[in-house]
A and B are shown apart, each in its own frame.
Chain A
Amino acid sequence: MININKIIKEMDLEGDPSNHRVVVAMSGGVDSSVTAALLVEAGYDVVGLTMQLYNYGKALQKKGACCAGSDINDARVVSSKLSIPHYVLNYESIFQDQVINDFADSYLRGETPIPCVKCNQTVKFTDMLDRAKNLGASVMATGHYIRRKKKLGSPSLHTGIDSSKDQSYFLFATTKNQLEFVRFPLGSLTKDETRSVAKRYGLSVANKPDSQDICFVPEGKYTEVVRKLRPGSIEVGNIIDVNGNVLGKHNGIIDFTIGQRKGIGVGGRKGVDDKNSILYVISLDTEQNNVIVGPREFLSCNKIKISNCNWLIDIVNQTKFRVLVKLRNSSKPVVGTIKVDFDNNLAYLKFDKPQFGVSIGQAAVFYNIEESSHILGGGWITEAPNKSADIKFYNA
């Protein structure tokens, strides 16, 4: 059973809940719907906001389809059930500028972007947050599985109780200022608990499956989206091995990501010992438009450079320390030593053990080595040299 008083306590708002307007960012999914439901039960003056981020009809290539996806309607139905006001924010052009275009350009640079972080960083926690403030809200709540705790008067960010659903990797860019204003009531719940709350309230989205893909990419086919957005800038090129031999052709480097093993399109290699017969994408050469493949050992990466760092802790006195770092949402944190350059928002990280398949464009998120749930901050991986950097291609 969910303890409403605990949720009220974690909301960290003084006085009676009814004196506080809380804007809930409602996506139409079960998580944000339950967030709204719990806050209504707790007695807050809840207002639901849903972002319209792109023209669904256009994205899905359906002629005459309405601009609204069914998610917006789900959010509306839930709001109606909860008897709260609900509004739709038209962020199509901002989302196009700040998220979709960046996503396409990033792929063209041979990187692997995370548009969800950009969206949280820009549209959700900038524009929507401003709107929540303008509507007189005390705070804005979202349905993320992450916890906000008060430590020595200032808020800190911690992983969600449900480690399988933890969303800290996507929220590292939340600034200290933003953290003063946002709340995550589901951080202390498991997904199962969320679903059971949804059932208890009779919410229509109780059994709605979790979203898996990037919202504006139909069926996960991100390369098709990039091809539509940037026609003409994607060219056929060569797939070469570490010795510079051409193994085959590719239809554009956007189809590849560092560390990729499946679907490269070049067959197995006869006469090569087992250990080295499997080929991985080890480098994307955007200048020559080459995809470079090689055995796993070439992916080995010892250090990375991280740019545009966001810090959620005060570390002015300390510029070199040990951290846990997550390089992908799905991977476990690894140990390393970080050196911080505050003036330039940069950080350099040396891994204790080499890492394989680190991609530029992904995030590096840092956790406290003594308290692994505590998020220290993070940034964008802008350099991740692996052994392929040592290769010289004279004939390429």
Chain B
Amino acid sequence: MKKQIYLDYNATVPLLKEVKKSLIDCMDVGPLNASSIHYYGRKGKDIIDIARTNISELINTNKNNIIFTSSATEAINLLFSNFDTIVVSSVEHFAVLSSSKSDHIIPVNQHGVVDLNFLETYLKKLVKKNKKILVSVMWVNNETGIIQPIEDVVEIAKKLGCLVHCDAAQALGKIKINLEEIELDFLTLSGHKIGAPTGIGALIYNDKIDLMPQILGGGQEKGMRAGTENILGIRGFGEAAKFFVNATENNCSKVKSLRDYFQEKVKTLSPKTIFFGEKGNRVANTTLMALPEIPGDLALMKLDLESFSVSSGSACSSGKVSKSHVVSAMGYDNLASNSVRFSFPPNDSILKLENLITRKELDRLAQCWSNL
């Protein structure tokens, strides 16, 4: 079998070695139900507490304001179940778009950046009729890698008395998140986007705002999320966070140079390629592109058969590929079925663990792209 070249880090980051080791250690501790009051229960509580500390250090927040959930999606659903009026951007992940059931959609410009003037005007009207409004804008877009002007969103929303949630699933590990410096009320995170196992997410919340839980039961997570704690997931999330806190190469210059090298190769070999959000403020690891004549799913299949793992549009659990609502929202509806995403490791430290993403392979990939 040919070596698989993985360029789908925005979908998930491989389990980190340190995380894997921590999980095995954790399994060897014994029977861990953190709600038990005996020895093993205390051990379980300790593990959760360490994870909370690690995660709070990574995003600079109070560790007591973290609720562990099964995923960022669940965290978002939990939060949104507390609000009737939610204003979202048109390029949000389906975890936000579907669970908000919102008709209050803020458009983006052709670079995929949320329209702040529209947001302000819209909120001014909306606050006259609604008391409790939640504004939800993602930090980094999963398809384009565009970084949203989240500070400006917060400023506008706060000025008008709205609360703000930020889906930071794609931002974590790629850009610095410092909750002391930004007045967000809620932030949601996903563990597996930074090398933890899947099945663990978190809601970071402002404890001055009362929230009601969605899942009721034994009162775990301060009554906000019942169900025996996912010790392994939480431990893994904590270890992954620690890796990023301690990483010596938290910048992304090497990732960026590889991504840019690949883009330039593609431009040379297939000049018809259209890049989305290239002119906007983007994270270093992501590039989204399309060829006008080639459906995205065909590109994905052909690249897969050449052993490149990349991603296209948004795939349902069945594996069928649908149109990209993000590309449509940016005004390229005619290309919404054609976009293909290449996402490199989130930062240089993760890239260092990887020895298959070489310039030689990227040359081959660009060649395959031009042959589509």
Residues of chain A at the chain B interface (Cβ within 8 Å): 47, 52, 66-68, 72-73, 76, 85-90, 92, 131, 134-136
Contact = CB atoms under 8 A, between A and B. Distances in A.
Nearest to B315: A88
Contacts of B317: 66, 68
B301 A66 contact: no
B316 A135 contact: no
B319 A87 contact: yes
Nearest to B316: A67
A87 B316 contact: no
A68 B318 CA distance: 5
Given A131-B298, A134-B298, A88 B305 contact: no
B221 interface: no
Q: Which 3 A-B pairs have the closest CB atoms?
A: A68-B318, A88-B319, A90-B320
Q: Is the interface of A mostly helix, strand, loop or mixed?
A: mixed
Contacts of B316: 66-68
Contacts of B304: 85, 87
Interface centre among A66, A87, A131, A136 (most CB of B within 10 A): A87
Contacts of B321: 88, 90
A73 B319 CA distance: 10
B239 interface: no
Contacts of A47: 301, 305
B302 interface: yes
Nearest to B372: A134
B82 interface: no
B60 interface: no
A85 B301 CA distance: 9
Given A87-B297, A90-B297, A68 B320 contact: yes
B95 to A, nearest CB: 15
Interface string B299-326: 0011011000000000011111110000
Interface in B261-303: 297-298, 301-302
Contacts, number: 47
6 contacts: A47-B301, A52-B318, A66-B317, A76-B319, A86-B319, A87-B319
A135 B322 CA distance: 19
A76 B315 CA distance: 15
Contact of B301 (A67, A73, A87, A90): A87
Given A87-B297, A131-B298, A134-B298, A66 B318 contact: yes
Nearest to A45: B305
B305 A67 contact: no
Contacts of B302: 134-136
Contact of B305 (A52, A85, A89): A85
Given A47-B305, A135-B305, A88 B298 contact: no
Interface string B317-337: 111111000000000000000
A52 B297 CA distance: 13
Contacts of B319: 68, 72, 76, 86-88
Contacts of B320: 52, 67-68, 88-90, 92
Nearest to A131: B298
A87 B295 CA distance: 14
A88 B318 contact: yes
A66 B317 CA distance: 8
A102 to B, nearest CB: 22
A72 B318 contact: yes
Nearest to B319: A88
A76 B316 CA distance: 14
Given A66-B316, A68-B316, A90 B322 contact: yes
A287 to B, nearest CB: 42
Contacts of B318: 52, 66-68, 72-73, 88
A57 to B, nearest CB: 11
Contacts of A134: 298, 302
Contacts of A72: 318-319
Interface centre among B297, B298, B317, B318 (most CB of A within 10 A): B318
B305 to A, nearest CB: 6
Interface centre among B304, B316, B320, B321 (most CB of A within 10 A): B320
Nearest to B1: A83
A86 B297 CA distance: 12
